[in-house]
Every structure is written in C-alpha cells, then in structure tokens.
Amino acid sequence: MSLLEVRDLKVSYGGIHALKGIDLDIAQGELVALIGSNGAGKTTALKALAGLLPGTGQVHYAGQSLHNLPAHQRVRAGLALVPEGRGVFARMSVEENLHMGAYCRDDKAAIVQDLALVYTLFPRLAERRAQLAGTLSGGEQQMVAMGRAMMSRPRLLMLDEPSMGLAPMMVEKIFTTIREISAQGVSILLVEQNAKLALEVASRGYVLEGGKITLSDGADCLLGSDAVQRAYLGA
Amino acid sequence: MRNVPDFLRPNKRNAWLAFVALGLLLLVLPFATDALLGRGWVRIVDFALLYIMLALGLNIVVGYAGLLDLGYVAFFAVGAYTYALLGSPQFGLHLPFWIVLPIGATLACIFGALLGAPTLKLRGDYLAIVTLGFGEIIRIFLNNLNAPLNITNGPQGISQIDAIRVAEFSLGRSQELFGITLPSVHLHYYLFLALTLLVIFISLRLQDSRIGRAWMAIREDEVAASAMGINTRNIKLLAFAMGATFGGVAGGLFAGFQGFVSPESFSLMESIMILCMVVLGGMGNIGGVVLGGVLLVVLPEALRNGAGPVQQVLFGKTLIDPESLRMLLFGVALIVVMLWRPAGLWPSSQRQRELEAHDGEAQQEQDTVYDASR
C-alpha cells in the first residue's frame, strides 16, 4: 500500500487552474521525482500536499485522509516540506534553525540525538552551528533547510528544487545526501527542474506539464524516453 | 579587556553590584529628580515609564513577530477609556482600579485579536495601512460617540477620573509612608515602575519561550514557519493580543494618572512615536526598547526646556521660539541616530551579529565552490 495516494488533486489561484487534477503515488521508502518546466505546477502541488494551499481531490497519507488537515498538523503526522528558495530563518543561528525543525516534538533526548544525526549528514553545519543562517552560502542554506526538515522525523520528505541556484559541486553534494536520506528509509518526493539529476536518483518519475501529469514511468525509462529527452534534456 | 579596571570586568559579583546599584538608583530616582530638576520632571519620568510599557507591548508585535502595526495607540485608548468610563462621574460608576485595570487589559486583548483576525494574510506595508486605519477608526469613534447617546463625551473628553486607589490609600494625594512624605507623582512612579518591571519580566520570559521562538520564525519566513508545524494563525493572533494587553494596562494607568482623557491623546502621531521608540532603541531587544522609550520621552522635554537658555548663552537672546525649534531638533536627532546606528541604539544580539557578518558574506560566496569539494 502506498504511503501517499493522491487522486485528482486540483488547485486554482483565483480563476487560474494551476493544477488540473493530478494522480500520484509514493510507496513507503520510495524516492519519486516530479519534473516539469517553469510554471508547470510543481511547487503548487507540493504546497497543496503540505497544506499551505487549499486544493480539492483526495489525498491519503498512511491510510488517512488529509482533507482539511491544516499545515501544522501535517508536519506532526510526518509530512515535511523543504520550501522553494530554502526559507531558512535568516536571523537565527544554524543550530536554532535546526531546533525549529523539532518545534512540534517534545522528546528532548531524542531531539538531541537527531541533531547529532543531522550533523553527521551535514558535517558543514556542525562547523557553522553558531553562525547566522542568513550569512551562509546558498548550498549551506539548502543543507540547513533539509536538516531542519529532518529534525521533524518525517516519514515523507518533500523537496522543492533543492538544486536551484547552487554551484555544480554543491548540487552534487546535496544529491548525495538525498540518496543517504532515502537509504535511511525516508520516503522522498523530489521536485526538480533539473530532470536529469532528479531521474538519476529517483526510482520513479512523473512529468508535469501545464498542471497535468503527462507521463509517469520508472526513472530509467523516463531518462531514455524521447519525449523527456526532447523536452528536458536538450538531446 | 586589558585596560579595564577590575571593578568594570564582567563577573558574577560585579553583576550583582550593578543590579543592586540600579535598584537603589530606581528607588531614589523620583527624589533625586525632584531635588535637581523639579516636580515637573518627576511627572515626565512617570510618563517615560508608561511609554516604556507601550513600547514593550508594541515590541512583541513588531520586534518579535515582525508585524508592522501603525495603529497600536488604539489599544492604549481602549485601556484608557475603559478606565475613564468605569471610574468617573461620566456614568457615575466608580469601580476600584484593581477591577477596572484588568477589564481594560482584557478589552484591549479582545480588540487586539479583532484587529489580528482580518489581517492574518497581510504583511509589511499592507498590514501597516490596515492597522493605521484601525487606529484611526478607534479614535474617530471616541470622538463621535457623544450622540445620539453620550458615551465618550466626544472631543471634550472625560474629566474628573478617579485617582488610582486601593481601599483608602489614594495615589491622587500625598501620603505619609515610613515617616517620608510621598507626593502623588512619586507614588505613581513606584506603581508604574513595579508594573514596568513586570512587563519587562514577561517580555524576557516570552522571548526565550516556545511561543517567542515561533514568533521569530514567523518574522523570518512565514511559509517555512508553518512548514515547521507552527500554527501561524494562532501564534500571530497571540502576538496581537499580548501586545494589545500591555497597551491596555498602560492606557488604564494613563487615565488614572492624568485624571482626564480625550481622543486627542490617541492620534496617529502617538502610534508613530511608540514605533520610533521600538525601532530607534533596537527592535526585538528589551534593553534597547526601554532606552528608546526613555529617550523619546525625555529628549523633547529636554529640548523644550533647554533650547531657550542655550540660545541665550550663544547669541545673547532667544532667536527662535524653543517650542517650534523642539520638534525640528527632535527630527534631526532621529535621522542622525538611524544613520549612525541603523539597527537601533542597542540592537538585539542577533541584529548585531547580522550586521557584523555582512562584510564576510561576499568572501564566503566565493569560497562555496571550493568548499563544496571538501
């Protein structure tokens, strides 16, 4: 049974239909990529799943309907979002940022353990733990955002464009960490414009175009498919 | 630290000494002020304490939660008018102050939530405009609620408000305590000081609490804050309600102290002044906000009293009327401070770190590509 089951999810801003009914499944422990060009509705889909935007349709998470469940309760249920543009708390230190990730937990001992885990995942953050997050480089901020999301002990981690605006070396590093998080058994929904990168780490992928899912297949098949090659890989 | 004499080095003993010294200073302040500058200045000190309470209340909304509120004086007005209506000949009600003050605070709290609810989705300039409108609505209501049914007595305001009184002990006249005669302004000073210290204490505790961290998260990035599991709606409403409550308390004290309230006291200018105290002192830092409150009350008064004599000394006559010079100098002082210390006179440690770190930022961006390979 899938961890996340999305059926006919629609979102509109005023009169504009950003998502025209999409279906999506993510199994426990799976890494799924959602690719598409600018304005295809990728971020809208993630925000709707996180409860930050109102949408219609059925969303079931771990067998439970998420209908009308507000954003802050979805986090408690184990759905964590790393927002587009990272959204670090600029005037808080790295460590304060990570602690904010554990805002809805009160098991102090386990939080300390998880903090240590995040620091092993991102040794760079351990070096900079007292530094203000706003003064970090883009890549480091992405690490803070991901580490912060991990502090909520998610079952499903949703990443919105983690490669955006980063140096190639840093992108590689971030994607290595995404693999590591996935290997720990966390299910991941990865939204990316960089289709090649995303499909290389994912096991399955969905292609979103104009608010609709036009293709869905195993990641290898998508990488090899003509349509994806033409549209996203420039081949 | 090398050339600092021993008694200035920060350690536990010196911290205690400083604490005791500050306590003593605050205790004798009204007497010292009375002896050196005259009774009128004790009154100004009392007002400074009221404005510190207001500024600390606004600091919760603006400094902690980052919600720009330009109508804060409305809550001051709600507290003041509650006191005035329930403790004056206006309705013949003369409820004691310890009942009226909590009622005023509660009403202000409700008004805070009422302002917060429709503005939850607004931020920055848009929020500022709505709150500005709200502040004006309250003032205009107070101005016009004298017909058809006379509630607020309109622009004339309400006078002969009861003095703050507990049982037979009234703060409205001199009292003999432990063989010392305490005039009314001195008595008010001690009451206001106690409540100001309470407000400071609450602010400090809030700052380090779960709620305080949630406010700061919302200030930094609201979407991310709600992705952390923070109920942004309730936490924002709480900021408005808490800030408003402090304003309501200050308002009640103001009414009891003045004995008179009118809508004129609650103009937009007052809101701006309170905001200036927060921003000029150091947004989000309690010490800074207190400093801002003291300076912005004392400075205009000092200019009022000082501008004349200084001109006499310099030019031998008064060239410009001190009253008209006062606000000019005050404005110049504001501009100079903001240019010289953009984060406020006494910024919070976070703001301080941020400004210091700013120079290192460019270098770091360059290092990133190199660092990534490590």
Q: Closest by alpha carbon to B264, among B73, B49, B68?
A: B73
Residue B90 in domain = yes
Q: How many Cα atoms occupy the beta-carbon half-sphere of B308 within 13 Å? A: 6
pLDDT digits (tens, 9 = 90+) for B153-177: 889 999 999 998 877 788 877 887 8
Q: List Cα–Cα distances, A113 to A20, B72, B163, B209, B213, in angstroms.
A: 42, 43, 58, 22, 21
Q: Which residue has the tokens 């600091």?
A: B59
| pLDDT exceeds 70 at position B133 | yes
Q: Does A176 touch chain B (CB under 8 A)?
A: no
- Predicted TM-score (pTM) of the model is 0.88
**CA-closest candidate to residue B64, choices B248, B196, B198, B219:** B219
Percent of chain B with pLDDT over 90: 58
State the CATH number of the domain containing residue B362: 1.10.3470
Task: Supply the pLDDT for residue B351.
Answer: 58
Helical pair B39-58 and B12-37, crossing angle rounded to 10 deg: 130
Note down the domain range covering B67: 39-372
Indicate yes or no: CB of A75 within 8 angstroms of CB of B228. Answer: yes
3-state secondary structure string across A6-26:
EEEEEEEECCEEEEEEEEEEE
Q: Do B223 and A52 make contact, defined as CB atoms within 8 angstroms?
A: yes
CA distance B281 to chain A (A): 18
Please compute the mean of the pLDDT values over residues B267-281 and round it to a whole number.
93
CB contact under 8 A, A173 and B213: no
Q: How far is A154 from chain B, CA to nearest CA, in Å?
A: 11
Q: Decide: B57 and B243 in contact? Cβ < 8 Å.
A: yes
State whether A87 and B231 contact (CB < 8 Å): no
| ipTM associated with this complex | 0.90
Q: Which two tokens stand for residue B156?
A: 């004339």
Q: How confident is the model at residue B354 (pLDDT cuts 50, 70, 90)?
A: low
Residue B252 near residue B101, CB atoms below 8 Å: yes
Is the pLDDT assigned to residue A114 strictly greater than 50?
A: yes
Q: Using the beta-carbon criterion (under 8 Å), do A91 and B223 form an inter-chain contact?
A: no
Assign B205 a pLDDT band (cuts: 50, 70, 90).
very high
| β pairing state of A204-209 and A187-192 | unpaired
Q: Strands A31-35, A204-209: parallel, antiparallel or unpaired by DSSP?
A: parallel
Mean pLDDT of chain B: 87
pLDDT at B368: 45
Quick one: pLDDT band at residue B9, thresholds 50, 70, 90?
low
Q: Could you give the count of Cα atoms lying within 13 Å of B315 in the half-sphere of its Cβ?
A: 7
Q: Is B39 helix (H, G, I), strand (E, B) or coil?
A: helix
Residues of chain A positioned with their CB less than 8 A from the CB of B227? 50, 52, 71, 75, 80-83, 87, 149
Q: Is A136 on the interface with B (CB under 8 A)?
A: yes
* Residue A73 amino acid letter: Q
- For residue B219, the chain A residues in CB contact (below 8 A) are 91
Question: For residue range B314-343, what is the model confidence (pLDDT) as tens digits?
Answer: 887 777 777 777 788 888 888 998 899 888
pLDDT tens for A183-215 read 999 999 999 988 889 999 999 999 998 999 998
The number of distinct structural domains making up chain B is 1
d(CA A187, CA A86): 19
Q: Is the pLDDT of residue A93 over 70?
A: yes
Q: What does the pLDDT read at residue A27?
A: 95
Domain A2-233: state its class. alpha beta
